[in-house]
Amino acid sequence: MIEARTQIRALLADAQNQTAFVSHTPEGFTEPTAYFSKKPATTGTLNLVSTFLPSMAAADGNLYGQPIATPGGEMATLSAGILVNSRCAAAGATIITRPDPSRAIAVGYDKGIAFQRVAKYFSTIEAAPFATTADDVDVAASNLPISRTTMDWSASIQKSVRFELPRSLQRQIGYEQIVDEVILAFVLGLARAADAVLLNAIEASTPAAFTAAAAAAKGVRITELRALVGTNGTGATWRGDGQFAAAGGILADTTADIAGTVIGSFGRAGVAIHESIDLIIERRNTKGDLVLTAHANMIPLLPNPGVFWTA
């Protein structure tokens, strides 16, 4: 088990000791003969699958009440935290956390190793279109009722965030709490970023207006349908049983990541998140102010956009 806080604390400490130059000492010399400027920064990765959220009860006994922190003694991965906090996942979407799939290939006898990318797919399967046929009549071929999209990391969407951590804040709050808070903010932000990636892809497919007839034509059960109401509040209402709904009664939740309202079978869509988050921590000045930058890569998985509509 690896705690995310351990990794980030080590990177912060390393960044504090970075210099703004690198020296060059040729062979046979005892002193450097040249100096080259560089950023006083360090880099690392945070693995969403193998690292864990900080607990609410920290080692110093303080209780940190962030909404997704885990109680003392319990462990949850960062990817689990993303899944719990994604509105699209709550509506049924699949959140996949995975590496860049590749395959090692030996090149010749002594040429080394090459890495080949291996295509992976996200597929949805619908009912086979059985039809009534007469005896002694050939059956017409149908298209496979399978929709798939490729998980191609070279075409993924990069999501980034940057935080400034002044020395005064580090002294006031302490490394430990700052790191825990940043990790939880990362997970909450990645959940929202995943929602935005999928919802923007749905909107980019220009879905039609929702009707019960359109859902019936796609073979979608009413119980599969969920709605996410954006910042315009389009179509939002409260049902007689007190449930928040959209489009006349479809169970709904809110989202700040789109303006409109999307209705659909979210179980037929998803988001792939690369399991490695790239971190860059830079020492800004001699006072010890730090800047933390994180980059994540995501792919919207929308093989069948026809099962989504707008309000």
Which are the contacts of 231, defined by CB distance < 8 A and separation ≥ 6? 256, 258, 259
Is residue 135 in some structural domain?
Answer: no
State residue 2's pLDDT score. 67
Q: Kindly tell me the number of DSSP H helices and DSSP E strands found in the chain.
A: 6, 20
pLDDT, mean of residues 191-218: 96
pLDDT-based confidence at 183, cuts 50/70/90?
confident
Rounded-to-integer distance, Cα 275 and Cα 291, Å: 22
Is residue 232 in some structural domain?
Answer: yes
% of the chain with per-residue pLDDT over 70: 83
Is residue 55 in some structural domain?
Answer: yes
- What is the extent of the structural domain holding 274? 2-20+38-126+145-310
Is residue 42 in some structural domain?
Answer: yes
Is residue 28 in some structural domain?
Answer: no
For residue 99, count other CB atoms closer than 10 A to its CB: 11
| pLDDT tops 60 at residue 294 | yes
pLDDT-based confidence at 35, cuts 50/70/90?
low
Which are the contacts of 86, defined by CB distance < 8 A and separation ≥ 6? 93, 95, 191, 192, 194, 195, 271
Is residue 283 in some structural domain?
Answer: yes
Would you state the structure tokens that stand for residue 283, as one six-digit string? 């020492």
* Burial annotation 194-226 (CB, 10 A radius, 16+ → b, else e): bbbbbbebbbeeebeebeeebbeebebeeebbb
Range name among 174-178, 248-252, 302-306 with the lowest pLDDT average: 174-178
State residue 58's pLDDT score. 45
Range name among 18-32, 56-70, 94-108 with the lowest pLDDT average: 56-70
DSSP class per residue in 189-236: HHHHHHHHHHHHHHHHT-PPBP-HHHHHHTT--GGG-EEEE-TT-TTE
Question: Number of folded domains in the chain?
Answer: 1
State residue 61's pLDDT score. 42
For 258-274, what is each residue's pLDDT tens digit? 999 999 999 999 999 99
Q: Which residue do the tokens 């990636």 mark?
A: 197
State residue 105's pLDDT score. 61
Is residue 242 in some structural domain?
Answer: yes
Is residue 94 in some structural domain?
Answer: yes
pLDDT-based confidence at 63, cuts 50/70/90?
very low
Residue 291 DSSP SS3: strand
Between 177 and 282, the higher pLDDT residue: 282
State residue 57's pLDDT score. 43
